[in-house]
């Protein structure tokens, strides 16, 4: 089984031209040894809990035959790795206190001035071919994709070369659980001393686990995240303090960390140190990326919070959607104030502000609907919500939704019905431009490229584990619908339309022309609510 669960783009110019290789030095050794010990502690704790539960079950159920073979195997493992004494606080030889790092006395570190007979490449420069292989050009985009394959989760970092329409995996990052949310960060994480305008190229990843991992995308082959937002980070700090045993992991909802899966992440592009997260634990958390601590926790919803997004211009307003079938637009500075709330007929899948007119926002739902609301017309009660228009976009869940950041009124929806649909929103309402099965299976992610030069590019991924980049400008119906809406770029003394080249056609164009004629003017399935 292989599937892509989430994707996002990195704008041009942020990735390092030559990403560096991960360096394993003494400082990094100390850092990851604490993290590794915590993971073993958690595994041992779960084993002990399982054994206790098994004993209690046998007491409650007379005649119950325990799986003695499994318990014997567990005991053998404990003996083999000496996990029974892994937590002992008694002072022992340094080489015996770190379990899996217990042979550290036998590890020899060599600096650049020492001669190591086992390193034949000592003093030589990095191979030119390898360096060129890692190179990322200023005209390249990165595409980040969360993948689960045969129960192994990782983030794939793709490079997309637009000029030759080439997509390839640059490197990947191992993850602890199924990725559910991927958000790009444009600042150095945990660098409170960095300048206000310091650039970074990091990613925040939310998974089925409650902790959020932060990774530097400019470092290849890293072993552990650069920072963790959640209880895992607190445990790591406690582990560094001598003779202080870490607390047992809490599953109770609190104001400091999530205790269930992280379903959505939103970086604040104006207050760049702020990251909002939404969780199945029904809370929204606001994180300070300088300190990697939770700054505030909010409880606006009574069920899983599935989506959060910051207002494009009012930088303290956060829009959130939930399985409680409501959407809230709240000012994060005034958590006690009553926030405007809208209601919908089904579980909320995603919420999005309209970047071209931030007075409006979109809601996609589990039963295939798109709602378009005026944020200035908040109802007194959610049940009285009145959208500007509603659209039955799909017969099944709208599992992915995005708005083109460059071209006004250009929407994409993806569904578990395996269809990707492109929409043109005009004053008269939305109309479908084209519908396509791109062969990715159930569609879990549809995201437009962020740069003007690639404004028509669309990343699509789903249950078959493939990422497709669709240049939608090759479709005749798309060109017809949006040619007049495309911003113009100036360069080399001439103007050109972004992504539109009449000579750049393929088989998709002819097919799209037919489909566009058939579907582009229909507008069926939407209902105006503006009377």
**pLDDT for the residue 498:** 54
C-alpha distance from residue 154 to each of 339, 381, 425, 429 (Å): 37, 42, 36, 40
> What is the pLDDT at residue 191?
61
Mapped onto helix, strand or coil, the DSSP state of residue 24 is coil
Pick the most confident of 148-152, 186-190, 510-514: 148-152
Q: Give the range among 120-134, 203-217, 251-265, 411-425 with minimum mean pLDDT.
A: 120-134
Over residues 60-64, mean pLDDT: 55
Going by the DSSP 8-state scheme, the letter that residue 315 receives in this structure is: T
Q: What pLDDT band is residue 399 in, cutting at 50, 70 and 90?
A: very high
Determine the Cα–Cα distance for residues 187 and 190; give it in Å rounded to an integer: 9
Give mean pLDDT, residues 364-383: 96
pLDDT tens per residue, range 204-243 = 999 999 999 999 999 998 888 999 999 887 655 555 544 4
Q: What is the per-residue DSSP string for 470-531?
A: EEGGGSHHHHHHHGGG--EEEETTEEEETT--TT---HHHHHHHHHHHHHTTT-TTEEE---
Is 50 exceeded by the pLDDT of residue 57? yes
Q: How are beta strands 219-220 and 20-21 bridged, if at all?
A: parallel
For residues 261 and 176, the answer to whether their CB atoms sit within 8 Å is no
- Give CA–CA dist 42/48, Å, rounded: 10
Q: Is the pLDDT of residue 58 over 70?
A: no
Confidence of residue 432 (pLDDT cuts 50, 70, 90): very high
- For residues 312, 314, 316 and 317, what is the CA-based torsion angle, rounded to 10 degrees? -80
Per-residue pLDDT at 422: 98
- The pLDDT, as a whole number, for residue 504 is 46
Q: What percent of the chain has pLDDT over 90?
A: 60
Length of the chain: 531
- The confidence score (pLDDT) of residue 54 equals 72
* Residue with the two structure tokens 């009012």: 314
* Residue 22 token pair: 């991960």
User: What pLDDT does residue 47 have?
Assistant: 73
Mean pLDDT (the chain) is 81
- Does residue 471 surpass a pLDDT of 50? yes
Which of 66-70, 168-172, 467-471 is least confident?
66-70
DSSP string, 135-149: ---TTEEEEEEEEEE
Is the pLDDT reported for residue 311 higher than 70? yes
C-alpha closest to that of 483 among 402, 410, 401: 410
Q: Give the pLDDT band (50/70/90) at residue 519.
A: very low
List the end-to-end C-alpha distance of the chain, in Å, as a whole number.
Answer: 49
DSSP class of residue 271?
A: S
pLDDT at 90 over 70: no
339 DSSP 8-state letter: P
pLDDT bin (cut points 50, 70, 90) of residue 190 is confident
User: What average pLDDT score do residues 173-180 get?
Assistant: 96
Residue 175: in which H helix or E strand, if any? strand 166-175
Residue 210: closest CA among 263, 274, 133: 263
| pLDDT tens, residue by residue, 484-508 | 898 875 444 444 455 555 444 444 4
SS3 (DSSP) at 530 = coil
**Does the pLDDT of residue 281 top 60, yes or no?**
yes
Percent of the chain whose predicted confidence (pLDDT) is above 70: 68
Identify whether the C-beta of residue 270 lies closer than 8 Å to the C-beta of residue 315.
yes
Which strands make up the sheet holding 398-403, listed edge to edge? Answer: 398-403, 410-415, 420-426, 429-436
More confident: 340 or 31: 340
Q: Comparing 209 with 122, which gets the higher pLDDT?
A: 209
């Amino acid at each position: 089984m292989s599937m892509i669960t989430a994707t996002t783009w990195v704008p041009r110019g942020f990735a390092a031209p030559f990403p560096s290789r991960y360096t394993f030095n003494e400082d990094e050794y100390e850092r990851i040894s604490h993290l590794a010990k915590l993971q073993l502690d958690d595994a041992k704790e779960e084993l002990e809990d399982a054994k206790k539960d098994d004993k209690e079950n046998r007491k409650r159920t007379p005649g119950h035959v325990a799986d003695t073979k499994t318990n014997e195997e567990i005991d053998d493992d404990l003996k083999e790795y000496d996990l029974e004494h892994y937590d002992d606080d008694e002072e022992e030889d340094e080489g015996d206190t770190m379990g899996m790092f217990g042979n550290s006395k036998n590890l020899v570190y060599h600096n650049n001035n020492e001669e190591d007979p086992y390193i034949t490449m000592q003093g030589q420069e990095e191979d030119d071919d390898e360096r060129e292989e890692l190179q990322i050009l200023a005209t390249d985009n990165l595409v980040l994709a969360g993948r689960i394959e045969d129960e192994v989760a990782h983030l794939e970092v793709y490079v997309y070369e637009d000029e030759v329409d080439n997509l390839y995996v640059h490197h990947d990052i191992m993850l602890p659980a199924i990725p559910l949310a991927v958000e790009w960060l444009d600042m150095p994480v945990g660098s409170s001393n960095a300048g206000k305008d310091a650039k970074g190229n990091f990613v925040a990843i939310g998974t089925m686990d409650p902790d959020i991992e932060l990774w530097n995308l400019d470092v290849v082959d890293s072993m552990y995240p650069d920072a963790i937002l959640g209880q895992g980070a607190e445990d790591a700090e406690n582990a560094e303090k001598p003779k202080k045993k870490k607390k047992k992991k809490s599953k109770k909802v609190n104001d400091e960390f999530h205790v269930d899966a992280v379903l959505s992440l939103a970086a604040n592009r104006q207050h760049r140190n702020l990251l909002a997260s939404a969780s199945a634990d029904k809370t929204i958390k606001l994180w300070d990326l300088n300190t990697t601590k939770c700054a505030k926790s909010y409880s606006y919803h009574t069920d899983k919070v599935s989506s959060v997004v910051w207002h494009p211009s009012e930088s303290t307003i956060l829009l959130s959607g939930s399985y409680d079938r409501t959407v809230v637009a709240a000012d994060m500075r005034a958590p006690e104030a009553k926030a405007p709330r809208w209601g919908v007929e089904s579980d909320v899948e995603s919420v999005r502000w309209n970047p071209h007119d931030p007075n409006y926002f979109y809601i996609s739902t589990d039963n295939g609907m798109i709602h378009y609301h005026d944020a200035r017309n908040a109802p007194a009660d959610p049940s009285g919500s009145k959208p500007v228009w509603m659209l039955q976009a799909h017969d099944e869940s709208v599992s992915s939704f995005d708005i083109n950041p460059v071209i006004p009124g250009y929407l994409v929806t993806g569904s578990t019905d395996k269809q990707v649909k492109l929409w043109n929103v005009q004053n008269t309402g939305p109309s479908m431009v084209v519908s396509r099965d791109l062969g990715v299976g159930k569609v879990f992610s549809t995201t437009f490229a962020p740069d003007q030069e690639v404004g028509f590019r669309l990343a699509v991924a789903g249950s078959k584990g493939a990422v497709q980049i669709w240049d939608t400008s090759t479709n005749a119906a798309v060109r017809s619908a949006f040619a007049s809406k495309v911003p113009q770029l100036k360069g080399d003394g001439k103007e050109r339309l972004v992504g539109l080249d009449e000579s750049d056609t393929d088989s998709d164009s002819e097919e799209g022309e037919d489909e566009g004629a058939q579907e582009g003017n229909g507008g069926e399935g939407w209902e105006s609510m503006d009377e």
